[in-house]
Amino acid sequence: MHAWYSLNRWRPTIDAIEKYLLTVEPTPSKELVLIGGSAGWMMSTQWLQKFSHLHTYDIDPFAHRLFQWRHGQALKKSGVTLTAHRQDAIETLPLIARNHPDALFWFDNVLGQHRFRLDDEDLAEKQMLQIQSILAGKSWGSLHDRYSGPLEKPLLALQVPLLCANMVLMNVEGGVRYKNKLLSNDEAAQQMLVNINATGTWQDHGTTYLLPMGIERKWIPWAFKPLYGHWLEIAWVKS
């Protein structure tokens, strides 16, 4: 319900995600494994239509029906087959990787909530670090929360593309490369908090080391609620 009522406010973020995804080309296999896609509220139908086979994995019993409702018709029209799996895809990732040897894997805003869902920071961190080795040799990507917290004033729709354009960075040993500068992770976080007009206490979603070093990533702001924002990170790891 929150997603449904928030779609207008989320639109600039949805557009930024689509713009990024459309730069990601499917490999010749044309199979996509989408993990934690929920109803696909923020997912680009146009990007999904580039694939021939789509496998969604979600633990939510309602996810498939809602996803079908939002994207099903368009996918059918473009001949994309859709198979839904209700399963914990993080715990069973090795098996899923074996079952889809040639697929592209996309984590769709699921990994940033993992530590809160498990309520065990160490286990969540261990499982997330294993993703790189489980998917080694495959093409995979992720959209996930980096930080979230209260905003001093609402984020304007116009600000989203401007902030996205500025926030292209790369994790390197000892910190982050941002606009040709080397920053520590704390300095990068401070920069991001200033850019989004953060106030109060912000949460770290534990995704700093999720992606391999040296992978270019974008940070995308998201007005999750009128006065509550997220910094999302989006990146693609090519096989």
Ligand X SMILES: C[S@@+](CC[C@H](N)C(=O)[O-])C[C@H]1O[C@@H](n2cnc3c(N)ncnc32)[C@H](O)[C@@H]1O
Give the interface with ligand X as residue ranges (CB under 6 A). 35-43, 57-60, 63, 88-90, 108-110, 117
Q: How far apart are CA 12 and CA 158, in angstroms?
A: 8
Output the six-digit token pair for 169.
């960075």
Specify the residue, 84 or 157, whose C-beta has the smaller distance to ligand X. 84
Residue type, 114: H
Specify the residue, 32 or 43, whose C-beta has the smaller distance to ligand X. 43
As measured in angstroms, the least distance from the Cβ of 3 to ligand X is 6
Specify the residue, 42 or 160, whose C-beta has the smaller distance to ligand X. 42
Residue 65 CB neighbours (<10 A): 13
As measured in angstroms, the least distance from the Cβ of 86 to ligand X is 8
As measured in angstroms, the least distance from the Cβ of 87 to ligand X is 7
Per this entry, what is the length of the chain?
Answer: 239
As measured in angstroms, the least distance from the Cβ of 155 to ligand X is 18
Residue that the structure tokens 């809160």 belong to: 116
User: Please, where are the H alpha helices in the chain?
Assistant: 2-21, 45-48, 63-67, 73-77, 93-99, 114-118, 121-134, 159-166, 185-195
As measured in angstroms, the least distance from the Cβ of 102 to ligand X is 21
Specify the residue, 14 or 170, whose C-beta has the smaller distance to ligand X. 14
Which residue's C-beta sits nearest to ligand X?
36
Specify the residue, 47 or 178, whose C-beta has the smaller distance to ligand X. 47
As measured in angstroms, the least distance from the Cβ of 138 to ligand X is 18
Contact criterion met (CB below 8 Å) for 229 and 222: yes
Specify the residue, 47 or 57, whose C-beta has the smaller distance to ligand X. 57
Category of 35 on φ-ψ map: left (φ > 0), alpha (ψ -120 to 50) or beta: beta
Q: How far apart are CA 95 and CA 72, in angstroms?
A: 26
Q: How far apart are CA 108 and CA 119, in angstroms?
A: 20
